[in-house]
Amino acid sequence: MQQPTKQDKKKFSQHKRTAKLRGIEFNLTFEQWWNIWQASGHYHERGIKGGQYVMGRYGDTGPYDVDNIYICTRGENYDYARSLKSWAGSARKLTPEQEAQLVELAATTTKKDLADMFGVSRPTVYKILKRQRSSRV
């Protein structure tokens, strides 16, 4: 098994931080996270683009915990989440803290990636950013 680097530990911290921003409990240690990714054989294919791999949660609910996660492509994870939820008319609401974090990340992150990161639609991202700009005027 490959030995982790400082960069790998940064990726773990980023995953943990992003989960917190999305309001999702993250109960994995670095060692657990690392071992799960290494066992999957997809660590170097991680990412949030369609064919890249992510850490999914069973039922798309609950914490990131050893017993509640699996490795799949982002597309598979999205399809699974959609199959579990009624998306029509049930837009996800972000807390004020999550909205503030989204606004902060907007300078360096694409709208699509922000939508994926926070589990909302791109139009929701645009509305939040527009509302934030309007409040500064």
What pLDDT was estimated at residue 103? 92
Mean pLDDT, contiguous 10-residue spans, the chain (137 residues):
91 95 94 97 91 90 91 89 62 82 91 86 85 78
What secondary structure, in 3-state letters, does the chain show? CCCCCHHHHHHHHHHHHHHHHCCCCECCCHHHHHHHHHHHCCHHHECCCCCCEEEEEHHHCCCECHHHEEEEEHHHHHHHHHHHCCCCCCCCCCCHHHHHHHHHHCCCCCHHHHHHHHCCCHHHHHHHHHHHHHHHC
